[in-house]
Structure formats: C-alpha cells, structure tokens
Amino acid sequence: MISSLELARHCGISQGTVDRALHNRPGVSPKTREKILRAAKQLGYRPHPAAREILTGQSTTVGAILPTVNNVFFMDVFNRLGHWFSEQGLRLHFTPVENRLAFLEVLEEFASRRYRLAVVIPPEDNIPVPQNLASALRIVSLISPCRGKGVDFLSPDEAETGRDAVRYLHGQGHRRILHLTYDRPAYAIAARAAGYKAQCREMGLASKVLSFVDADRLAETLRSFRPTALFCHNDWMALRVQLILAAQGMRVPEDISILGVDDSPTLMAVHPGLTTLAYPVEKAVAAIGDVLAGRTATIAGERYQLVERTSVRKWV
Amino acid sequence: MISSLELARHCGISQGTVDRALHNRPGVSPKTREKILRAAKQLGYRPHPAAREILTGQSTTVGAILPTVNNVFFMDVFNRLGHWFSEQGLRLHFTPVENRLAFLEVLEEFASRRYRLAVVIPPEDNIPVPQNLASALRIVSLISPCRGKGVDFLSPDEAETGRDAVRYLHGQGHRRILHLTYDRPAYAIAARAAGYKAQCREMGLASKVLSFVDADRLAETLRSFRPTALFCHNDWMALRVQLILAAQGMRVPEDISILGVDDSPTLMAVHPGLTTLAYPVEKAVAAIGDVLAGRTATIAGERYQLVERTSVRKWV
DNA sequence: TTGTAGGCGTTATCAC
DNA sequence: GTGATAACGCCTACAA
C-alpha cells in the first residue's frame, strides 16, 4: 500500500502539498489538487490512521467489552451505542471476553492504543482494575461494577427495579409472585432479588426466589408455591421459562403471567408478546456522552420503564 | 502516558537498551534489566502498538464485521473465531454494521489499518467490493457472498443442506414437510429452499415454503398443508415457531416435529431440546486459518451435521 | 554491555 | 502556492 510520500513523488511534488490537498486545506492550486486527488484514487492511497494517532497522541476509537455468554441484550445495547458513536465521528471497537483475565488484557490493549474511552460490561462483578490502568484509560462500566478508583459505574438502582416489578404485578391483582433468576453473584441479580423481597414484605405478600431454573425445579416450585405471576430476572430467562411452561401445557397469560426485564429488541423479534421493564438505554447513552465530554455522569436516578404487551394479565 | 524514550531518560540510559530489556532480548546486564522493568511497571509504561504497526507495516489484528440484526448465531461464530485467533496471538476487532454503506466504510477502515484479514458476514448479499479494496485487504466472507474479485466466500453447499433436512425427516417417516424461512433475498435462504424443493420432488413428496412467518399465516398453512414436520431455516426461526405453536396449543414433538439449522450455542442454552443441523464451525475456522497462512481454502464440500435432540420424533 | 542513527507514515511549522 | 524539516513512539542495525 502506498504512502503519502510515495504519492507525492509519483506526482512530482512535495509531501506537504499532498497533505494539504488531501485535507481540503487552502494553499493548493486547483490544478495541483485535482492531479493529486486523481492519483490518490487511482493508486488506492489510504492514510494510515496509526501514524496520525502517534502524532496526535489521541485515537478516535472507543473500546467496548462485553461478555461472550447470554449476550443478546448486551449486543443490543452496544449496537445502539455504536450507532451513537458513529454519529460523533468515533468508531466503536468491540471485543467479547469470557473471563476476568481476558477482560483486563483487553483493557490494557485499549489503554495502550490510547482509546478515548472504554465502555464495558464486565464478565463478572467487582473485577479489580489496577490504578495505573484506570488512570491511563477512561472506563465506564454498565450492568456490573468494577472494583477500583476511576471506573464509573452507570446503573439504575436495581433494587428499585425489583420493587417496581412487584408494584406492577400487585397492581394487576397478583398476590403470589415468584422471582426467577440466576445463581451467579452479580450486582443486578442480588439487588433485584433484594428489592423484590423487600417490596413483597412491605405489601404483605409471600415471596420466593428460584435462582437456578430448569424444568423440574420450576414445575416443583409451581406446585408448592402456586404463583400467579413470574417475575424473571431478564427477557432471556422469561423466554426460557415460557418454553418450559409450554412443554408442561401451561398457557401464558391465561394460566400464569410472565414479566421480563430489559426489552431486548432482538428477543422481541422472536417473542413479541413479552411484557417487560425496559432498560433506559437512551439515558445510558446520554450519560456516556457526558463522560466523553469530561462531565461527571450518573443514571442512578433512572428507572426501567414498563412496556405492557400480552404476557401479563389482570388477576381477579 | 510515558514513551520508551522517556522511560530511558528516566533510567538515565539509552532507548536501545530499554527496548532490549522490554523484549527480553540478550545484551542487557541483569541489573540494568531489573531497573528498567521496575521503572516501566512503576511508571505504567505501555508500548504503543500503532508505532510498531507503522514500522512493520503489519498489524496483528483481524477485523470482523457482522450484521446488527438476528445476530445471535453470528455472535456465536465470532466468539469461536475470536478464541481461535487469540490462540494465534491475533486480536479480533469486531464491528456490527447495519447496511452496505457502513459495511464498505468499515472495510476501508480495516484496509487502511493494514489488518491481517477481514472475516465478514455481509448485511446483505452481493455487495460489490471495489477491486482496490480487495487488493489492499484480504477478505473472507461467511454465510453471504460478496461481489467482486478477491473476496473468498467460505460456505457449505446450502442446497445440500435443504436436501439433508428432507432426507433426515423422510427417514423419520415424515411425508408432509413444510419449510419455514425468510423473505429476504440471500444465498443461504434461496439455496436451502431450492434444495428442499428439489429433494421433495425427487422423493415424491409435496412441498411448501412459507417465507414470511407470523402466527396467522402459520396457523392457516398448518390447516391447509397439514405438515407433520417443520424444517426451519435456522434455530432462531425454530424458536419463534415453537412459541407460536405453543400459544396455539400444539405440542412439540407430539403433534408436530421441528428441525432447525445452525446449532447456535446461545440459543441452545434457552431451547435445549431443538434437533438441528449444526454449522461446521470447526471446518470454517480451519479454512480461515488456511487463508491466513496464504493457502487457498474452501468448505464447499462440508455438510451441516445432524444433532438429534427431542424436537423431532418418528412419524408412523 | 551499551549508545547512536535512521526510518516507518503523517502532520504542523516555517521558509521560500 | 509550494517545499523542507522536525516530530510522534518504536524497532533494527551498526558502532563504540
């Protein structure tokens, strides 16, 4: 591949003039500019971004990290982010990662490339981020927090999410609400379950959390707890549960109601009837914009928004 | 962030010695090496990959492009690829893209960064790739072909996939097989449907393709065509169909059998019973390795492999 | 064992 | 309007 110096030589002029022409800067005669641009196109000249980055010390790339598993909704979030960044003239470079080691390695890579920002969903909670990494690279984490100074955690109050779920289902007349979730130790999982329990208690409802869901355990819990509504940790879980219920001959929402969380667009394409609490993506995007602009940001006061479809019915 | 020259000055020695120490090359006294490494760690020195890339003219990154929609299985494929590349000391930089314009822009970016290879799943079929792009960047496309010289298309014979589906279901005793697919113009969609039809004809079976699936159209076609088995274009479609069937009170596989294609790990986590034809990922990965090594490669002779689970039953 | 010099591709500056 | 030069961070080759 040809360099700007070679391009200059090819045209029989200096590199400086070539540079001015390529960047539409004044100080080049129309004739020369024309000649240069034609030659550039013909020879397939492409500026090498790495050289610019060395010179300016700044890259125009934003790094993203997301876990390799259960990544449907996370992909949706990052697609939205990528769209927004490209409007800002930034590129989103994203890397899936499966454990804390790879997570930190990729973060190191982003730092050494002088990326403008890293937006990450850590593969597990509270990965300790070394001080020198966080001071070299601006890091924003979503969904799960990191440990260590200098990493911004952008998350709604997830206990409130659990409470909102109970409030909504209670408002629909449900009195026996089962919470289905995962058994991993993660902020959102623990906080939503805690909010769910607290709200049930305050409303005088029985509560029960099933944190490892398979067909047998679900069937058994359905028999013993007799819930009329299922509050699932996320849409993905809701989908899984719906398939299990279907195999057992139960109808949704006739026999039982299901509430998800996230409002993942990808999942909605396959399961359009799911009533869910939508993650405030736009607020998160705006907050990340603030961080980019050097302002402090938070979405701690934001709520998941209810999107009513057909998987929850009034219980009378 | 500190440079190797600054690091050298800090230690009161030359840049060359620092370089040798950092790369564990001979020619540095243990004492000096020790001092340099300690200082590097303490000052948070990180080599700037961009500088190395300029110097060597080669990057160690492989670019990946995948469409933003229906990307669950594609994500699975790229996760597998990323894993393999990292074993080779390469990084996978991947970018989701929603249309042909963005697709070509990202490819340009990869080319100008001198990436080793681009592995892409184009957002639509037959996007024309300019000659000068393809000659600057090695491109391998999966799933959907590109137009233009120099882009390798790595794909099994998809007509054969359609035939294999029919052969298998026929072997299980099914005589009325409905094919559910999408109405986008895409190689795999058209080829599988063609293979399905041809094989049905050769076996003397009635054939029917429904290429836009919603609850009403499916119900109506079920009534009129009375299939005993559904051959779905992919697992994602199979999942959607299973949810629709469940809502209509049909049981799988008691009332009707379902066959998917891909064997997407992510989907299997939520829908573990789906019998499916597995995409030959390992062969694709190996072929990409061949391309990287400069050899020519193809997977045209490979087949999707049947993975029997519980969604297809013998029909008597 | 260590230091020096040159060059990779780009851009900014200053001289002509 | 154009050309020359230096600088960014790194690495290789060669000299001390």
Instruction: Write out the DSSP string of B223-250.
Output: HHH--SEEEESSHHHHHHHHHHHHHTT-
| β-bridge partners, B139 | B118, B151
- Amino acid whose CA is nearest the C1' of D8: A55
Pairwise CA distance, residues A150 & B45, whole Å:
18
The pLDDT value given to residue B69: 78
Q: How far is the CA of A29 from the C1' of D2 (A)?
A: 10
The pLDDT value given to residue A27: 87
Q: According to DSSP H, which parts of B152-206 are helical?
A: 158-171, 187-203
Among the listed residues B143, B138, B90, B96, the one whose alpha carbon sits nearest the alpha carbon of residue B118: B138
CA dihedral A261, A262, A263, A269 (to 10 degrees): -100
The pLDDT value given to residue B176: 98
**Half-sphere exposure at residue B238, Cβ-oriented, CA atoms within 13 angstroms:** 31
DSSP state at residue A206: E
The pLDDT value given to residue B312: 98
Q: Does the CB of A48 fall within 7 Å of any strand C atom?
A: yes
Neighbours of A56 (CB within 10 A): 10
pLDDT digits (tens, 9 = 90+) for B248-260: 999 999 999 999 9
Q: What is the pLDDT confidence band of residue B223, given thresholds at 50, 70 and 90?
A: very high
Q: Which residues of B touch A136 (CB under 8 A)?
A: 1, 44, 46
Looking at every residue in chain B, the average pLDDT score rounds to: 95
Residue B108: which residues within 8 A CB-CB, separation 6 or more?
Answer: A46, B133
| Out of A69, A94, A111, closest to residue B46 by CB | A111
Q: Which nucleotides of D are covered by protein (CB under 7 A)?
A: 1-14
- Cβ atoms of residues A210 and A218 within 8 Å: yes
| β-bridge partners, B128 | B147
| Widest distance between CA atoms in chain A | 86
Residue B28 Cα to chain centre, angstroms: 46
The answer to whether the CB atoms of A54 and B53 lie below 8 A apart is no
Please identify every stretch of chain A with a pLDDT value under 50, giving residue numbers as ranges: none
**Does residue B300 belong to the interface with chain A, where contact is any CB pair within 8 Å?**
no
Q: Which residues of B touch A249 (CB under 8 A)?
A: 251
Judged by DSSP in three states, A24 sits in coil
Pairwise CA distance, residues A36 & A42, whole Å:
10
Nearest nucleotide (C1') to alpha carbon of B45 = D9
| Widest distance between CA atoms in chain B | 86
Q: Which residues of A touch B135 (CB under 8 A)?
A: 44
Peptide bond into A227 cis (omega under 30): no
End-to-end CA distance of chain B: 72
**Half-sphere exposure at residue A47, Cβ-oriented, CA atoms within 13 angstroms:** 11
Q: Does the CB of A54 fall within 7 Å of any strand C atom?
A: yes
Pairwise CA distance, residues B249 & B252, whole Å:
10
Among the listed residues A112, A73, A101, the one whose alpha carbon sits nearest the alpha carbon of residue B48: A112
Peptide bond into A253 cis (omega under 30): yes
Q: How far is the CA of B19 from the C1' of C1 (A)?
A: 14
Pairwise CA distance, residues B274 & B291, whole Å:
33
Q: What is the pLDDT confidence band of residue B42, given thresholds at 50, 70 and 90?
A: very high
Nearest nucleotide (C1') to alpha carbon of A14 = D3
Burial degree of B72 (CB within 10 A; 0-12, 13-18, 19+): buried
pLDDT digits (tens, 9 = 90+) for B124-146: 999 999 999 999 999 999 999 99
Element (H, E) at B277: strand B275-278
Q: Is the pLDDT of residue B163 over 80?
A: yes
Pairwise CA distance, residues B39 & A133, whole Å:
16
Q: Does the CB of B307 fall within 7 Å of any strand C atom?
A: no
Q: How far is the CA of A30 from the C1' of D2 (A)?
A: 13
- Cβ atoms of residues A287 and A84 within 8 Å: no
Distances (CA, A) of B50 to A59, A112, B193: 10, 9, 47
The answer to whether the CB atoms of B135 and A44 lie below 8 A apart is yes
Q: According to DSSP H, which parts of B23-97 are helical?
A: 30-43, 49-56, 72-87
Among the listed residues B131, B130, B141, B136, the one whose alpha carbon sits nearest the alpha carbon of residue B115: B136
Pairwise CA distance, residues A156 & A228, whole Å:
27
Pairwise CA distance, residues A286 & A273, whole Å:
29
| Out of B72, B114, B251, closest to residue A1 by CB | B114
Strand pairing of A229-232 and A257-262?
A: parallel
Among the listed residues A143, A154, A172, the one whose alpha carbon sits nearest the alpha carbon of residue A66: A143
B129: its two tokens: 């790739």
| B306/B69: higher pLDDT | B306
Distances (CA, A) of B132 to A8, B151, B297: 19, 12, 22
Q: What is the pLDDT confidence band of residue B35, given thresholds at 50, 70 and 90?
A: very high
The pLDDT value given to residue A69: 77
Q: According to DSSP H, which parts of A12-157 are helical?
A: 15-22, 30-43, 49-56, 72-87, 100-112, 131-136
Average pLDDT in the B295-304 region? 96
